[in-house]
Structure 1
Amino acid sequence: MNLHDYDDWLMPLVTALGAAAVGVVVYLVLRPITRRLSRHSPVANAVNRQLDKPLRWLLPLMAVQVALEGAADDLPHVDGVRQLVTVLLIAAFTAAAIAAVRGVADAVAVLHPQDVADNLEARRVLTQTRVLARIAIGVALFAGIAFILMTFPRARQFGASLLASAGLSALVIGLAAKSVFGNLLAGLQIALSQPIRIDDVLIVQGEWGRVEEITSTYVVMKIWDERRLVIPLQWFIDNPFQNWTRTTSQIIGSVFFWVDYTTDLEPLRKEATRLAQGSKDFDGRVCLLQVVDTSERAMKLRLIVSSPSAGQSWDLCCLLREGLIALMQREHPGALPRLRAEMQGPTDTHDHRGELEARLAGQRTGRSEAAVNNDTGMTSLTAPTGGVLPPAEPPR
């Protein structure tokens, strides 16, 4: 085969290049028009932005594909060129479908902003959109790969079988990758039932944090100290966890104190109410101080106070705890827990004042403690550290 065999390609090549140029021109003409028209619709605007790059290739490839259909079938390697253009066209269509899905997801995020006081509905819709968008993108990729395989004669049967028996293939592959597909199904279940949503406040394995991202296989939770906890989706289906924002972000925080039995609770209640009402983190629903437990030494107080969100509740509880401690230290030092002990003397008529006076007199005259004890009838032992232990038993 020599170069003259390709002379017949000159006209089809020029036609294909001309068609590609027409496709580029159509893209350049339609781009500003679609941008101007989509400004009035958030959905159209988001989809248009995402489709911008795929359309740069899709329109010229469509024009080239149409031009090659008119080429003679006896041209050298014409089947290979057509197949190459078809593969590129399928890839461009797949990219456009993925871009459209992402554009719709972006539009939903714009229509349901999270930066509002009551964002429960926005978080619900956003969670469903993100999970379903990832599933749709996976389906589009699967279909694109299957259609590309069908363009090859030897793999056509495999591509057709891949599409026709997708359920059976998923079952067979699922046996080998149970955890992966289990997380995918868990993601679909979470998107529909929504036990968790984006920006929910969770307690998972003792860690407090917010749901930052929900992918098709795992959840990323941002811990309060900026760490990230990555949890498989299947874990949320199989294990219990706390969701502090399941129905509302409002929450009630608790502050505990141990105080003495002689403590007057009314000043503490007034101070707690004053501090709560002066804080921006208090929503005015609950501020209550009660005795919730007692022991042989003190009584336990619980102060409950309500806040609009978990973060504000933490700050408000810290404020009230510090304020009430400062009040007790400043004005009610007797409110702090105390250890009480009762000193019992002998049962006879022995004069303790006489004992004390004799000891003091002995110290002034320099008499030894043994001599004083002998006079008073007391027996004492000296501790190893040099201190004097109390008498082993009352004098008789």
Structure 2
Amino acid sequence: MTLRPNLFGGQGQLEAVASAALYAAIAVVIAVIAHRVLFAIMERLARASEGQADDLLLAHLKRPARWALAALAIVLVARETPLVADVWQKVTGFVMPALLGWIALAIVRGFLEAGCLPAEGISEDDLRMRRKRTRLTIFSRLATFIIVFVTVGLMLLSIPGVRQIGVTLMASAGLATLAVGAAAQPALKSLIAGLQMALTEPIRIGDIVTIDGETGRVEDIRASYVVVRIWDQRRMIVPSARFLDVTFTSATRYGSEATGTVLLYVRPDADVAAIRAAFIDHVRAHPLWDGREARLQVTNSTIDTVELRLVMTAASPADGFTLRCDMREAMLAWLHRHMPLSHAPLSPAPLPPGQTEEPDSGLA
């Protein structure tokens, strides 16, 4: 009959445990209710404001704040309840760093989303907006890495065995520094490259770049790599350091406007003036032409071929690509209808038997 009370260290001990658990539960419930009331008031005030930054920040802070208030309630109960204090003392080394890290990450993400909101009258493709979004993205990734690193480090240091390992490593700091430095060199190089990209801005999110023979749009910039979306929806993963070490082409470095060209090859007797007039009419009627420039130039000529360069402008590289394709198709169709004999041959006609490639000079 005395087995069950002894299992819990006596009836008094059992009552003490039950009381401590009840006090902790009541404190957590009060903390959750206080959290709901507090955030309901703050969300109402945020909705009444004009901007969306406070709404985004509250949305990210809502969950970690709930657990932080619950932890605060446990701390207050632990001051008056020794049993709760004993349990809290064993887990506080994990719980407190985790909560602080969670709150810090929520603040970083909230400020990132708020900072990436376009201002009134400014589109997301605006140069200033893309520059701002790129910097905020890179700095937020670096801040996330640092927060996670520090949080995990603090949690591990709460374990006595891990703390002792740290003391041992500090005692042999020279060897440990060399080993850790050699192992972390690639990660540190990528981290420094990401920071350097944020400061120097060789690329921005939304830029059209050509690297390693592939052209695409910068979709995302991470601390160690860059994601480039190619026209066929493939993603090219490029190390961040590569954009600092190799030469690449940027079509949107100082603006999103694009200038495109289309090459046509006609015979020397083709009416260039009529082709120019037709091109101007077609490009002016196209909705993607931005009205800045449209011209036709004779850029090269040979004995049987004249090269015509059709120059046109658009508001963005994507629009420029579509405009070039449409103009190429339209001008080829126009030439087929109005000048069917003006097309230059795709390859030289075969020579008659016995005739050389050099033209006859007419001298007998």
What percent identity do the matched residue pairs reach?
Answer: 29
1:186 paired with 2:186, answer no
1:17 corresponding residue in structure 2: 25
* Change in 2 beyond 3 A, CA 1:161/1:215: farther
**SS of 2:128 mapped into structure 1:** helix
Greater shift, 141-150 or 196-205, is seen at 141-150
CA distance in 1, matches of 2:287, 2:35: 54
**Alignment partner of 1:67 is 2:67:** no
SS at structure 2 position matched to 1:334: coil
Cα deviation code 1:187-234 (max 9, x no counterpart) = 111112111111111112222211111112111111111111111111
* Highest RCO, 1 vs 2 (Cα 8 Å, sep ≥ 6): 2
Runs of 5+ consecutive residues of structure 1 not aligned to the other structure = 344-388, 391-396
1:228 to 2:235 alignment: yes
Q: Aligned to 2:44, which of 31, 36, 52?
A: 36
Deviations 1:124-165 (A, max 9, x none): 1111111111111111112222322343444446679999xx
- Cα deviation per residue 1:275-307 (whole Å; 9 max; x = unaligned)? 010011111222121111122322211111111
The DSSP-based 3-state class of the residue aligned with 2:241 is helix
| 1:1-396 alignment runs, 5 A limit | 2-4=7-9, 6-7=13-14, 8-39=16-47, 40=49, 41-72=51-82, 79-112=86-119, 116=123, 119-156=126-163, 173-337=180-344
| CA positional deviation for 1:12 | 3.7
Which secondary structure state, in structure 1, belongs to the residue aligned with residue 304 of structure 2?
coil
Cα deviation, 1:342-361, whole Å, max 9, x if unaligned, reads 99xxxxxxxxxxxxxxxxxx
The alignment partner of 1:247 has SS state of coil
Change (3 A) 1:118 1:90: closer
Deviations 1:214-255 (A, max 9, x none): 112111111111111111111111111111111111111111
How many Å apart are 1:326 and its aligned residue?
2.2
Give per-residue Cα distances to partners, 1:43-88, cap 9 Å, x unaligned.
221110011111221101111022213334xx6x954542214422
Q: Specify the structure having the higher radius of gyration (Cα).
A: 1
TM-score (norm 2): 0.83
Partner of 1:312, secondary structure, is helix
Q: Find the aligned partners of 1:49 and 1:170 in 2 and give their Cα distance.
A: 41
Amino acid across the alignment from 2:41: I
Q: Which moved more, 1:194-203 or 1:111-120?
A: 111-120
Encode CA deviations 1:16-55: one digit per residue, 9 max, x unaligned: 3332222112112112111112221422211100111112
Report how far residue 112 of structure 1 moved.
4.8
Secondary structure of the residue aligned to 2:269 is: coil
The change in CA–CA distance for 1:187 and 1:341 in structure 2 (over 3 A counts) is: closer
Cα pair 2:53 2:111 within 8 Å, conserved: yes
Counterpart contact for 2:123–2:129, Cα < 8 Å: no
The 1:315–1:78 alpha-carbon spacing in structure 2 relative to 1, beyond 3 Å, is closer
Cα pair distance change 1:162/1:215, threshold 3 Å:
farther
Post-superposition shift, 1:256? 0.9
Please, what TM-score do these two structures have when normalized by structure 1? 0.77
Kindly indicate whether the alpha-carbon contact (under 8 Å) linking 1:149 and 1:158 is maintained by their aligned counterparts in 2.
no
- CA distance in 1: counterparts of 2:108 and 2:262, whole angstroms: 48
2:131 and 2:178 map into 1 onto residues whose CA distance is 30
d(CA) in 2 for partners of 1:307, 1:171: 54
Which stretches in structure 2 are left out of the alignment for 5+ residues? 1-5, 355-364
Give the match's secondary structure for 1:286.
strand
Task: Describe the shift of the 1:172–1:114 C-alpha distance in structure 2 as closer, same or farther (beyond 3 A).
Answer: farther
